Amino acid sequence: MSDTQAPSTQATKKCDRQFPPQPQGYLLFKLSELQDQPIEYLAHMWREYGDLVRLPIIPGFTFYLAAHPDHAEHMLSTHQERYAKPDVFIKPMSLIQGQGLFTSEGKFWLKQRRLMQPAFHQKQLVNLHDVILSCVQSLLYEWEDKPEGEVIDIAAEMTRLTLKIVSSALFSVDISGETDRLGQAFRTALAYVYYRMNTPLALPVWIPTPQNLKFRQAKQTIDSVVLEIIRSHRQDPTNKYDLLSMLLAAQDEDTGEGMSDRQLQNEVITLINAGHETTATALAWTWYLLGTHPDVMAKMQDEVKTVLNGSSPTVEKLPQLQYSRQVFEESLRLCPPGLGQPRVALEDDELQGYFIPKGSIFNIAHYFIFRHPEFWENPDQFDPDRFLPEKVNQRPKFAYFPFGGGQHICIGKSFALMESTIILAAIAQRFHIELVPHQPIEIDPRFTLRPKYGIKVTVRKRY
């Protein structure tokens, strides 16, 4: 049995006002273990106590691990009005992106969502296809100029690429010169957010501790790049149809007021952050999984060769790249960019027959749900055929939801799937990617589950 497998059966007594199973005592003294090795620690809890576990940290602060598709469906979909994103998540996250789409709820969230949704409609995405492709091609030209067999960190390359894509596609600005600095700043800031989420007694940001100072510097870098994006966009009146133009033109229905500069800045940071880090992390792990499964890599390359026949992955060809897309979906199952989705109960509720008091904070742990042995055969095995359409239909919807569900479902889902399929196909068409042997591969659990030491590969041109 693997580290992350659930017990095969779990006795679940159900009665009125009974809390879910829990370990004895408070977990305060286990907090560092939970912070440093959340996957291992929570997998242990899952194995010991089942799909719904109560984890009291200190008196007055308890959180819950929820690791069954029915829990996800209940909180994200059928009873979503009873749940919201909790302050312990929103407040630290707002230190980076203020109040934006990702960090808001209620009326304000709905207004912003309605405003931004049109930019992600299928019709608009088709227009973004060429921008994405040209960003990928410029990366491939860079690789072609490298000496044969040079080692690169493909995780870092994917970050550079997705940052360039998101800024070009959504804001019509090329930030190639800034991607390394910006990527690093986001990583520093996200690690800090993770620290604050897990440190209830952290000192306020204005106190100049070394950690706070490091965060403030990263935030300054993010703000300056984003303000420059907005400034240069305002100066160039030719960019009329991208997301930033929509945000600039947006007016409040009641007051007729446009977005303040601060609000605009928050949304641009939100979209750059949400739009690059997750996709880059998912792609990095996809290359790792392909590198460790040469048979899958060969099958994907065959598909790319047959479908594209030497041409570019155009928008018309994308639906035919079915296996490449399955590879990405399977990679998102085994290595999702986050451990789970946080929620707080807004009222007393009942879950799996257990009493859930108002204020309970959940980690809807999709990392475990995507490996739940009841829904996935040989869950630790990398097998893109799980995503053949006929197999997808046999599983409950919430056995797999890497983009979330319900009203907060990822606004960039179709964008990310299109972007990733183009990237995988365009790279596999022109290069062999081989993992450098014996390198350390570990997950950095601080927020997005990035590869801690990157992923070193050699890229060789295919002729």
Element (H, E) at 68: none
Nearer to ligand HEM, 280 or 457 (CB): 280
Q: Taking CB under 6 A as the criterion, which residues in 281-300 touch ligand HEM?
A: 282
Structure-block tokens of residue 179: 């991607």
Q: Taking CB under 6 A as the criterion, which residues in 394-453 touch ligand HEM?
A: 402-404, 408, 410-412, 415-416
Nearer to ligand HEM, 111 or 113 (CB): 113
Asked whether position 50 contacts ligand HEM by CB under 6 A, the answer is: no
Nearer to ligand HEM, 27 or 271 (CB): 271
CB of 340 to ligand HEM, least distance (A): 9
Among 52, 166, 345, 457, binds ligand HEM (CB under 6 A): 166
The distance in angstroms from the start CA to the end CA of the chain is 43
Task: Write a three-state SS string for 334-384.
Answer: HCCCCCCEEEEECCCEEECCEEECCCCEEEECHHHHCCCCCCCCCCCCCCH
Determine the size of the site formed for ligand HEM (CB under 6 A): 23
Among 115, 156, 191, 274, binds ligand HEM (CB under 6 A): 274
CB of 144 to ligand HEM, least distance (A): 27
Asked whether position 270 contacts ligand HEM by CB under 6 A, the answer is: yes
* Interacting residues of 129 by C-beta distance below 8 A, sequence separation 6+: 314, 315, 418, 422
Nearer to ligand HEM, 152 or 274 (CB): 274
CB of 408 to ligand HEM, least distance (A): 4
Angle at 125 between CA 248 and CA 166, to 5 degrees: 60
Query: Do 20 and 30 form a contact (C-beta atoms < 8 A)?
Result: no
Residue 241 Cα distances to 111, 116, 247, 262, 350, angstroms: 20, 12, 10, 22, 46
CB of 230 to ligand HEM, least distance (A): 17
Nearer to ligand HEM, 211 or 366 (CB): 366
Give which of 268, 315, 290, 338 is closest to 415, Cα–Cα.
315
Asked whether position 339 contacts ligand HEM by CB under 6 A, the answer is: no
Nearer to ligand HEM, 49 or 102 (CB): 102
Among 172, 279, 429, 448, binds ligand HEM (CB under 6 A): 279
The sign one gets for the Cα dihedral 332, 333, 334, 338 is positive
Nearer to ligand HEM, 154 or 166 (CB): 166
What's the CA gap between 423 and 418, in Å, rounded?
Answer: 9
Phi, psi of 251 (to 5 degrees): -130, 140
Query: Do 245 and 127 form a contact (C-beta atoms < 8 A)?
Result: no
Task: Write a three-state SS string for 297-346.
Answer: HHHHHHHHHHHHCCCCCCCCCHHHCHHHHHHHHHHHHHCCCCCCEEEEEC
Asked whether position 52 contacts ligand HEM by CB under 6 A, the answer is: no
Count CB neighbours of 433 within 10 A. 18
Phi, psi of 376 (to 5 degrees): -130, 120
CB of 337 to ligand HEM, least distance (A): 5
The sign one gets for the Cα dihedral 160, 165, 166, 168 is positive
What's the CA gap between 439 and 436, in Å, rounded?
Answer: 6
Q: Which stretch binds ligand HEM (CB under 6 A): 60-68, 275-283, 375-383, 421-429?
A: 275-283
Among 341, 363, 429, 448, binds ligand HEM (CB under 6 A): 341
Query: Do 357 and 56 form a contact (C-beta atoms < 8 A)?
Result: no
CB of 101 to ligand HEM, least distance (A): 4
Asked whether position 63 contacts ligand HEM by CB under 6 A, the answer is: no
Query: Do 127 and 313 form a contact (C-beta atoms < 8 A)?
Result: no
CA 126 to mean position of chain CA atoms: 22
Q: Taking CB under 6 A as the criterion, which residues in 309-338 touch ligand HEM?
A: 337
Q: Which stretch binds ligand HEM (CB under 6 A): 151-159, 171-179, 274-282, 429-437?
A: 274-282
CB of 260 to ligand HEM, least distance (A): 19
CB of 309 to ligand HEM, least distance (A): 28
Nearer to ligand HEM, 84 or 308 (CB): 84
Nearer to ligand HEM, 27 or 165 (CB): 165
Among 62, 167, 278, 301, binds ligand HEM (CB under 6 A): 278
Q: Taking CB under 6 A as the criterion, which residues in 83-122 touch ligand HEM?
A: 85, 101-102, 113
Nearest residue to ligand HEM, using CB? 412
CA 396 to mean position of chain CA atoms: 21
Q: What does the binding site for ligand HEM look like in residue numbers (CB under 6 A)?
A: 85, 101-102, 113, 166, 270-271, 274-275, 278-279, 282, 337, 341, 402-404, 408, 410-412, 415-416
